[in-house]
Structure 1
């Protein structure tokens, strides 16, 4: 049940969800004073959560904790966390990548550069989101990695985990008997702080290999490029910024929840 509630509870803390609850209350309540308060609170939540300043600050606070090294050191294995694929269900011609698909691209690149002799992909699929005929996320990752030139015999697969903690636990079960402890950990930059903390807690020597950065030195859609049009446009809320804010809040909620359970 922890997995279910860990996925459910954040929805009640996202700006858009909270705003929807507040606005619904404003419609249903018959007290004019409270209607006005709830309406103002709902609009403010959308405005704050959807403007580029808040979104940019939240994302950067996570993504820039682990920046790429100028020279990536050698490791015993490359571990790629799941979450970057869509299953090959009809009418898709095969597995496809989503916004986090850079994980596979970067993992394949590190292997082809000779940074480690083995690639382990980790990730199952949530029971309630399991589409008929869909493969496990890790199998989709294997298919994409082999397409990008990683030999199948160099790929290890973990297909049972449904969250980041289980990614670490089941990865440990596979790699520990092989004497593998020093790993290049590949995941989205936003997800890296929680992932590093989990894998280090489990005893791994972790070399962070972040990818899928949203915030760069000169982002086009966030207010960090020091141009006055971006400063102006970033004041206004957008659906894209609301989504990015929700993703950042999800990470912070995950960090708190995992810390409370002693997983970090």
Structure 2
């Protein structure tokens, strides 16, 4: 039930869901107090315009992503832990496992392994199947992908039951304790790293961030205000920016919930 509610309730805190609630309120007010209906409509429009602009989106994303910018010299560790959320299952019409936008996690883990940063890789991720499908866990999908990049199967350890970031850490720690793994390179998206790193460290795991999958960059931020044309275009609503704003807010909500539960 916690898993379901943790995914359902925050939807109405994000720009699109909250705007829908405001418009629903406006519809109700049209019947009871028409003069007040304009207030939630204006709020919904302002919320959508602000959250889908480059200014708000870039600021929120950078506030998370730039907390753990990759080091020039990444230290060696006993293992690399790759968090799930990076693949889509091989169901028709897909011919094979496919990568999501977060697929950089798998690519970067393979790169670190081939550079000799750690001798083992823990692929952590189950799959939430609300409809009861028998899809393979995401750890298996990641294993299929990473083997094509030259990582031997003998170096892979699958953690296939976790459904959220907290379970990623708890279940990975059980594997680490059983195999004498004491330090890890944690590979996940830059937006997800602040919450993930604190969860692993809270469990007493010696964890080094290996951040990848950046949505923002220094060059793109500078381009926000280069010319009058840039300023105009970046102020206009854009669906991708709305998505990025929502993803950043999702992380902040997650940080808040995990902090309240004592997981951070």
Which residue is equivalent to 2:129?
127
Which residue is equivalent to 1:258?
258
Matched ranges for 1:73-92 at <5 A: 73-92=75-94
SS at match of 1:206: strand
Q: Does structure 1 conserve the Cα–Cα contact (< 8 Å) formed by 2:112 and 2:118?
A: yes
SS at match of 2:47: helix
Mapped to 1, the partners of 2:86 and 2:67 lie a distance apart of 21
Q: Does structure 1 conserve the Cα–Cα contact (< 8 Å) formed by 2:224 and 2:234?
A: no
Which residue is equivalent to 2:183?
182
Which residue is equivalent to 1:46?
48
Asked whether 1:144 is paired with 2:145, we answer yes
Q: Does structure 2 conserve the Cα–Cα contact (< 8 Å) formed by 1:52 and 1:223?
A: no
The Cα shift of 1:204 comes to: 0.9
TM-score when normalising by structure 1: 0.96
Which residue is equivalent to 1:203?
204
The Cα shift of 1:32 comes to: 1.9
Mapped to 1, the partners of 2:134 and 2:128 lie a distance apart of 14
Q: Deviations over 1:233-255 (max 9, x none)?
A: 11112111111111000000000
Which residue is equivalent to 1:164?
165
Mapped to 2, the partners of 1:86 and 1:197 lie a distance apart of 27
Mapped to 1, the partners of 2:67 and 2:95 lie a distance apart of 37
Q: Deviations over 1:135-190 (max 9, x none)?
A: 11110000001011110110000000000000000000001122212100000000
SS at match of 2:235: coil
Which residue is equivalent to 2:214?
213
Deviates most, 17-26 or 190-199: 17-26
Uncovered stretches (5+) of structure 2, i.e. residues with no partner: none
Q: Does structure 1 conserve the Cα–Cα contact (< 8 Å) formed by 2:23 and 2:40?
A: yes
SS at match of 1:170: helix
TM-score when normalising by structure 2: 0.96
Structure 1 residue ranges (4+ consecutive) displaced by more than 4 angstroms after TM superposition: 222-225
Query: How many residues of Structure 1 are paired with residues of Structure 2 in the alignment?
Result: 261
SS at match of 2:207: strand
Q: Does structure 2 conserve the Cα–Cα contact (< 8 Å) formed by 1:182 and 1:204?
A: yes
Q: Does structure 2 conserve the Cα–Cα contact (< 8 Å) formed by 1:223 and 1:231?
A: no
Mapped to 2, the partners of 1:14 and 1:28 lie a distance apart of 21
Uncovered stretches (5+) of structure 1, i.e. residues with no partner: none
Mapped to 1, the partners of 2:74 and 2:87 lie a distance apart of 25
Aligned-residue RMSD, C-alpha: 1.3
